[in-house]
Amino acid sequence: MGLFDKMSGAQSQVQDALTPVEAFAAITLAATASDGYLSEEEARAISCTLSRMKLFRSYSNDVIIRMFDKLLGILKGEGIDFLFNAAKNSLPNDLREAAFAVATDLVLTDGVVSQEERDFLNDLYQALGISSEIATEIVQVMLIKNRG
């Protein structure tokens, strides 16, 4: 490995760090895209859901669009696992349960939960260090919410 290879790798690691807000959004994006498909309707659902949250209220529409362009670029260029790991590593502990809840809600919105989405949510709660009891409660509430 040459000198510039080392420097390029260090630069890439710095660029891969996400802000807490980006990490939260990335979790929702990864969850929604975990079945290998991200529809226009799903993208709107993410945007609508996040825009109602206190965490995102101070962000203008333009800033949110740029943030999602960045996250979609990572998703397309590096893959869902890379995006997931970058988000997981950047998400503060106090936002982990909320991120899991919103991701679960978005996955359940269309009424169909694929095996890939089930696997993703299972991996997500474990990766975020959420207890199985809390994760189960969150899933139960979101199932109730999305019945209607």
Answer yes or no: are the C-beta atoms of 112 and 31 closer than 8 Å.
no
Q: How far is CA 79 from CA 33, 74, 75, 135, in A?
A: 10, 7, 5, 25
In a domain, 79, yes or no: yes
**What range defines the domain where residue 105 resides?**
16-145
In a domain, 5, yes or no: no
Query: Which residues of the chain fall below pLDDT 70?
Result: 1-16
> How much is the mean pLDDT over the chain?
88
First-to-last CA distance in the chain? 57
Our count of domains for the chain comes to 1
Q: Per residue in 98-140, pLDDT tens?
A: 999 999 999 998 888 899 999 999 999 999 999 999 999 999 9
CATH (domain of 22): 1.10.3680
| pLDDT score for 96 | 98
| pLDDT score for 122 | 96
| pLDDT score for 12 | 45
In a domain, 110, yes or no: yes
In a domain, 68, yes or no: yes
86 φ, ψ (degrees, to nearest 5): -65, -40
In a domain, 139, yes or no: yes
Residue ranges of alpha helices (H) inside 34-78 are 40-51, 61-78
| pLDDT score for 16 | 55
In a domain, 7, yes or no: no
Taking the C-alpha atoms of residue 129 and residue 126, their distance in angstroms, rounded to an integer, is 5
Answer yes or no: are the C-beta atoms of 45 and 106 closer than 8 Å.
yes
In a domain, 24, yes or no: yes
| pLDDT score for 147 | 85
